[in-house]
Amino acid sequence: DAGVIQSPRHEVTEMGQEVTLRCKPISGHDYLFWYRQTMMRGLELLIYFNNNVPIDDSGMPEDRFSAKMPNASFSTLKIQPSEPRDSAVYFCASSTREKLFFGSGTQLSVL
């Protein structure tokens, strides 16, 4: 298995632009998580899905953030409009029950 696949690896954009991050979970995993990692706050859970249904989105910072999981093999995290304080590494992870497998992350820089 190729593991959790995220794209793009790096994204540089200007403030106000829309950003879409993509994730392909490991086949057969029924949980999908979006995390954000910064030096100041470490890893933070944004949202997670179970069987494509959002279960807990309490970590989504603002209405500018939205996430979808249209099917078991694909999820997106969208930021619209983006702001400089959104700059971070965004990780997608998938799981069957307890053991999480992380993707390599998307390094987002908002100028």
Partner 1 sequence: KNQVEQSPQSLIILEGKNCTLQCNYTVSPFSNLRWYKQDTGRGPVSLTIMTFSENTKSNGRYTATLDADTKQSSLHITASQLSDSASYICVVSANRGSTLGRLYFGRGTQLTVWP
- Ranges within 72-91 binding partner 1 (CB under 8 A): 91
Binding mask 23-42 for partner 1 (x = CB under 8 A): --------x----------x
Contacts of 4 (CB under 8 A, 6+ apart): 23, 24, 25, 26, 92, 93, 94, 101, 102, 103
Assess 104 for contact with partner 1 (CB under 8 A). yes
From CA 3, how far away is CA 90, in angstroms rounded?
Answer: 16
Q: How many CB atoms lie within 10 A of CB 39?
A: 7
Assess 47 for contact with partner 1 (CB under 8 A). no
Decide whether 45 or 78 has the Cβ nearer to partner 1.
45
Q: Which of 50, 51, 80, 109 binds partner 1 (CB under 8 A)?
A: 50
The answer to whether the beta carbons of residues 107 and 11 sit under 8 Å apart is yes
Query: What is the closest distance, in whole angstroms, from the C-beta atom of residue 95 to partner 1 in the complex?
Result: 7
For residue 54, cis peptide bond before it (omega within 30 degrees of 0): no
Give the interface with partner 1 as residue ranges (CB under 8 A): 4, 31, 42-45, 48, 50, 56, 91, 93, 95, 97-105
